[in-house]
Amino acid sequence: MSTAFDVIVIGAGPGGYIAAIRAAQLGFKVACIDEWKNAKGGPAPGGTCTNVGCIPSKALLQSSEHFDHANHHFSEHGISAKDVKIDVAQMMARKESVVKQNNDGILYLFKKNKVTFLHGSGNFVGKSEGGYEIRIRGQAEEIITGKQVIIATGSNARNLPGVPFDEVNVLSNDGALRVGAVPKKLALIGSGVIGLEVGSVWRRLGAQVSILEGLPTFLGAVDEQIAKEAKKAFEKQGLKIELGVKVGEIVNGKKGVTVNYTNAKGEALVLEVDKLVVSIGRVPNTMGLDAQAIGLQLDERGAIAVDAECKTNLPGVWAIGDVVRGPMLAHKAEEEGVAVAERIAGQHGHVNFNTIPWVIYTSPEIAWVGRTEQQLKADGVAYKAGTFPFLANGRARALGDTTGMVKVLADAVTDEILGVHMVGPQVSELISEAVVAMAFKASAEDIARICHAHPSLSEATKEAALAVDKRTLNF
């Protein structure tokens, strides 16, 4: 007889493990299945985010930023640091230990919340009276039954046609975060989020980095003014970004990779590099689910088709996170996980898609929430804009990092905040204030009238809100 659960979650990435914990908190008998293995073959819950995404990339960004500061900024503070060296093996070992802390933390949370964790791959077998039957192939094989199933199987890196990832020379996000020595020359295809974050890591450590982007615009989803400021800063640091290119033949040879491409002027060019990272987006992962065994519908992108509430075409089957429509972000997956668990419990789980923040963890960081100026124009919305540069912020001067600005966009009539866009130091943290403000439908004047600590970078947000009404105090 198979073990019966109220809720089975397939995938223990940020969407799945959070959904499992919330469902258990609500009193359900929950199982969470995940197939990810650590180097020793043991369980490594946390998905892409914990193992080869958010967490390891931020660990390497931190290490490489320290290296960059020691090399280029310590002297401004009167600190001499000669012969600064990077031990890539130690940097990677630290990253792995950060990943492991997160894996172990999730296993602890499962225990604490009485979620049954099953290490192995899960696939649909069929439907019986007890619910959906799922086979787990791990150390042993077993079939479990769930009245409700939440699919959270995430996404995989997209490869260029005919150019498979070998994770030695042609790297996905996985290989790009495991390189054993600083490459002399590194190329990245795609100047999206991974291209910029991973490119920054290896540039700071001394690689000559070229990013080839197919689109003619840089970071098209970002507010144009912010994207322009960021591009200027990245190019000043030495990141070479070419827009509007057409990538041609790629040869993965013994000594490295040859990338043939045509630039925006139509000139045929060749780039010889030691390593190539392909960061051209990700594809939803439904491989191995046997979706057809229960007649689960996919959409034209191969994502699981869901409605606004994450319901699939089958009663009692839900899907969340990267495997469905919407931004591929860990916190979006988590919000959907909580909302679905609450809906299963008959509550009114809710995700506000208009207030999901985005952050790119480069230096300067880029962060935003809500609509950009170009979107407001396209939507025909009358708006007011206020900007404030970090150059005029005391804390930014003390930090020695005055790049960038905060920009607040508010409705011309009601003053409601419609979007907040930032480029500069620690804006990954500053953006939360804007998210809270938008969630509570605050006006720009609300932020302008709130007392912000001095000296703090957050004063730039207050000043940008004041700028909406053309009354900055410090600029």
Q: Return the one option of ligand FAD, ligand NAI, none that residue 424 interacts with (CB less than 5 to 8 A, by type).
A: none
> Do the beta carbons of residue 279 and residue 173 sit within 8 Å?
yes
Per annotation, catalytic residue among 66, 72, 350, 454? 454
Q: Does 422 bind ligand NAI (CB under 6 A)?
A: no
Q: Stretches 11-19, 298-306, 308-316, 384-392: which one binds ligand FAD (CB under 6 A)?
A: 11-19
Nearer to ligand FAD, 356 or 391 (CB): 356
For the sheet with 257-262, list strands across it: 246-252, 257-262, 268-273
Of 70 and 314, which CB lies nearer to ligand FAD in the complex structure? 314
Q: Residue 312's binding partner, choosing from ligand FAD, ligand NAI, none, with beta-carbon cut-off 5 to 8 A by kind?
A: none
**Minimum CB distance to ligand NAI smaller for 147 or for 240:** 240
CA-nearest of 184, 175, 177 to 92 is 177
| Out of 148, 191, 312, 426, the residue judged to bind ligand NAI by CB under 6 A | 191
3-class DSSP assignment, residue 124 = strand
The listed partner (ligand FAD, ligand NAI, none) that binds 195, CB under 5 to 8 Å by sort, is: ligand NAI
In eight-state DSSP terms, residue 355 is G
Q: How far is the CB of 217 from ligand NAI (least distance, A)?
A: 9
DSSP for 67-121, written as a single string: HHHHHHTGGGGT----S----HHHHHHHHHHHHHHHHHHHHHHHHHTTPEEEEEE
Q: Is 359 in the site for ligand NAI (CB under 6 A)?
A: yes
In 335-404, beta strands by DSSP E: 358-360, 365-370, 383-389
Residues 169-198 that bind ligand FAD (CB under 6 A): 173, 194
Stretch that binds ligand NAI, among 87-95, 206-214, 227-235, 335-343 (CB under 6 A): 206-214
Q: What is the distance between the alpha carbons of residues 129 and 127, in angstroms, rounded to a whole number?
A: 7
Contact between 34 and ligand FAD by CB under 6 A: the answer reads yes
Q: How far apart are CA 32 and CA 150, in angstroms?
A: 9
Verify binding: residue 195, ligand NAI, rule CB under 6 A: yes
Going edge to edge, which strands form the sheet with 365-370? 358-360, 365-370, 417-424, 405-411, 383-389
Q: Cβ–Cβ contacts within 10 Å for residue 451, how many?
A: 6
- Of 15, 183, 256, 419, the one binding ligand FAD by CB under 6 A: 15
Per CB under 6 A, 277 contacts ligand FAD? no
Determine which residue in the list 22, 61, 122, 420 makes contact with ligand FAD, applying CB under 6 A.
Answer: 122
CA dist 94 and 46 (Å) reads 18
Q: Which does residue 189 touch among ligand FAD, ligand NAI, none (CB within 5 to 8 A, set by kind)?
A: ligand NAI
CB 72 within 8 A of CB 81: no
Q: Is 362 in the site for ligand NAI (CB under 6 A)?
A: no
Give the whole-angstrom CA distance, residue 291 versus residue 298.
9
For residue 71, give both structure tokens.
């090399």
Q: Which of 35, 133, 213, 401 binds ligand NAI (CB under 6 A)?
A: 213
Q: Which does 360 bind (CB under 5 to 8 A by kind): ligand NAI, ligand FAD, none?
A: ligand NAI
9, 32, 328, 442: residue in contact with ligand NAI (rule CB under 6 A): 328
> Rounded CA gap, 179 and 176, in Å?
6
Could you say whether residue 333 binds ligand FAD (CB under 6 A)? yes
Q: What is the distance of C-alpha 223 from the center of its chain?
A: 18
Closer to ligand NAI by Cβ: residue 144 or 247: 247
User: Three-class SS of residue 256?
Assistant: coil
3-state secondary structure 402-467: CCCEEEEEEECCCCEEEEEEEEECCHHHHHHHHHHHHHCCCEHHHHHCCCCCCCCCCHHHHHHHHH
Catalytic, 454? Answer yes
Report d(CA 291, CA 195) in Å as an integer.
32
Interaction partner, residue 191 (ligand NAI, ligand FAD, none; CB < 5-8 Å by kind): ligand NAI
- ω into 455 cis (within 30 of 0): yes
Binding-site residue total for ligand FAD (CB under 6 A)? 38
Q: Tell me how many residues contact ligand NAI (CB under 6 A).
A: 23
| Alpha carbon distance 118, 375 (integer Å) | 44
Least distance in Å: CB of 167 to ligand NAI?
15
| 36 counts as binding ligand FAD under rule CB under 6 A | yes
The encoded tokens of residue 61 equal 């960004």
Q: Which of 59, 163, 360, 467 binds ligand NAI (CB under 6 A)?
A: 360
Residues 221-250, one symbol each (x = binds ligand NAI by CB under 6 A, - = not), give --------------------------x---
Active site residues: 454
Contacts with ligand FAD by CB under 6 A lie at: 10-16, 33-36, 47-49, 53-54, 57, 121-123, 152-155, 173, 194, 285, 288-289, 321-323, 328-331, 333, 361
**Residues within the interface to ligand NAI (CB under 6 A):** 189-195, 197, 212-215, 247, 279-282, 327-329, 359-361
